[in-house]
């Protein structure tokens, strides 16, 4: 089943630059954006923000097919990156990627850690060290996943999950342009917290003393 295409109305920006972008956001209440392509020059456009938020959850928009309609033409795109204001709830700029043929694309997919509540080490007070929050995946636009799940249920204390040990679904591949041919990069690790470490060391010392007393 194919995903429903999101339709947005846009206008071409005749004037570009920081001051013009500020005017679009503050005076016209529009979002400056740009459509990138491998074969065509970048196309600067502007959008109404309510048209984006009313159609789709902003967290899921990265997986959506989008049809941008303008006065004389239209483009099939996906969202490549959304630039936010440092502290205000405002979108400053959106980067789109032209995908007329819906071919394979590279996209950053969020990592979702599952099985945390069932992990024995975490139950005992161990902590999770997340080395990555997303993974760059190459796949077809039609099968972009919402997230990459990593099950921590059976991960032991001090065990590290590496990129090369990740099992991806059919049609998903690691982006070789970013990671190269070496996938020995840590994704997540479960380690002992400082409090548990101190308690463990104290218990070890007590056990060692008890063993010495027993031997005497």
Q: In the block, which residue shows the tokens 């969202």?
A: 79
Assign domain 6-101 to its CATH superfamily: Ribosomal Protein L25; Chain P (2.40.240.10)
SS3 content of the chain, % helix, strand, coil (to 5): 25, 35, 40
- Longest CA–CA span in the chain (Å) reads 94
Q: According to the model, what pLDDT value does residue 140 have? A: 80
Residues in the chain, pLDDT under 50: 1-2, 198, 200-201, 206
Q: According to the model, what pLDDT value does residue 103 have? A: 66
Q: According to the model, what pLDDT value does residue 152 have? A: 92
- Dist. CA 24–CA 27, nearest whole Å: 6
Domain range list for the chain: 6-101, 106-198
Sign (positive or negative) of CA dihedral 83, 61, 150, 197: positive
> The domain 106-198 is classified under which CATH number: 1.20.58.60, 3.30.565.10, 2.170.120.20, 1.25.40.20?
2.170.120.20
The percentage of residues in the chain with a pLDDT greater than 90, rounded to a whole number, is 4
| The pair of three-digit structure tokens given for residue 207, joined into one six-digit string | 């056990």
Q: According to the model, what pLDDT value does residue 1 have? A: 42
């Amino acid at each position: 089943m194919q995903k429903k295409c999101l339709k947005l109305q846009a206008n071409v920006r005749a004037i570009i630059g920081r001051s013009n972008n500020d005017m679009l956001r503050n005076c016209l209440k529009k979002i400056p954006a740009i459509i990138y392509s491998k074969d065509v020059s970048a196309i600067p456009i502007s959008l109404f923000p309510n048209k984006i938020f009313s159609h789709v959850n902003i967290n899921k928009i990265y997986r959506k097919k989008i049809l941008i309609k303008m006065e004389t033409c239209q483009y099939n795109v996906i969202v490549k990156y959304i630039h936010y204001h440092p502290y205000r709830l405002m979108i400053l700029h959106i980067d789109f990627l032209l995908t007329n043929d819906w071919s394979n694309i590279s996209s950053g997919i969020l990592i979702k850690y599952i099985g945390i509540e069932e992990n024995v080490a975490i139950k005992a007070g161990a902590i999770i060290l997340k080395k990555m929050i997303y993974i760059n995946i190459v796949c077809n636009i039609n099968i972009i996943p919402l997230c990459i799940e990593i099950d921590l249920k059976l991960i032991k204390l001090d065990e590290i999950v590496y990129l090369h040990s990740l099992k991806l679904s059919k049609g998903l591949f690691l982006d070789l342009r970013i990671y190269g041919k070496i996938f020995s990069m840590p994704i997540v690790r479960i380690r002992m917290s400082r409090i548990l470490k101190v308690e463990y060391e104290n218990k070890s010392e007590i056990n060692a003393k008890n063993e010495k007393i027993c031997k005497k």
